[in-house]
Structure 1
Amino acid sequence: MATTEAENEKPVIVVGIDNGEHSSYALEWTLDHFFVPFAPNYPFKLILTYATPPPCIAVGIGITVMYQLSVESDLAKIAAQVREKGERICASKSVNDVVVEITEGDARTVLCKTVEKHHASILVVGSHGYGMKRLCRVILGSVSDHCAHHAKCSVMIVKKPKIKH
């Protein structure tokens, strides 16, 4: 029986990234556990996903066009920095076959849509560790909680260990 191209494709791991230390740790953890031990024959395809907020959300209502253009420029610079950081972390582990997607929108929605788009087997997200600190969760929402309930694949929430003093 001949195998189809789809059968030969590697399973996909999507990692949500941003400019924070928690997502960097989650990416490093993913590389160390799913890629480095299998170098150079990686068993997965790696997609890094960054959700950039729409400029109108970032600046609010009632702003000047010049200010909005400045914010759009800043958001583009941040997205470029996030892309470079993700690629640099991967390169430091000798993982160079990585796709980085920058998508405008809410991180919760973007990550779930990326999972569907690529038929991902695993979604990896970092945890900020807000836990029951209700105010932070109410204001920021929980990307990991939303994805755990709505992503159409397994979700791994990677927590950065707390440093004991």
Structure 2
Amino acid sequence: MARIHTRRRGSSGSDKPVADDPPEWSDVDADAIETRVVELADQGHDPSQIGMKLRDEGVKGTPIPNVKLATGKKLTQILEENDASGEIPEDLYNLLERAVRLREHMDENPQDHQNKRALQNTESKIRRLADYYRGDQLDEEFSYTHDAARELVSD
């Protein structure tokens, strides 16, 4: 499959091994995992950071390779059930941060055409992703503007 904004082909990455059960060596209780997930979210970690911390540090010293296999729920689902999820999805938030950084750079360096193109591509991705999330995880009236993005990122 090709990439959206380049002529190059996509790179094939490694896939997760197919597994239906958690590994035998990871015998942590599902409630302990959910408690740790909510605890990490309260500390201000994003869902991707929480997954890496559980993989590396684990719960009570036992690493958790896959939250969904161990608990039967996705990490974001656990956060939503405990009202610990963010107001906007993580992937959209990361794109908004990047757009704000690029816009600030463009204000200082107006002749930087390469970054102007990167800003256009990023804003295009934001609009497509906002269309995807609108009504479900975003307000129906949400529309991308630089000022709105700067306010969301600065909070």
Normalized per residue, which structure has more helix? Answer: 2
TM-score exceeds 0.5: no
TM-score (norm 1): 0.27
Q: State the structure with more CA Rg.
A: 2
Report which structure shows greater RCO (CA 8 Å, sep ≥6).
1
TM-score w.r.t. length of structure 2? 0.29
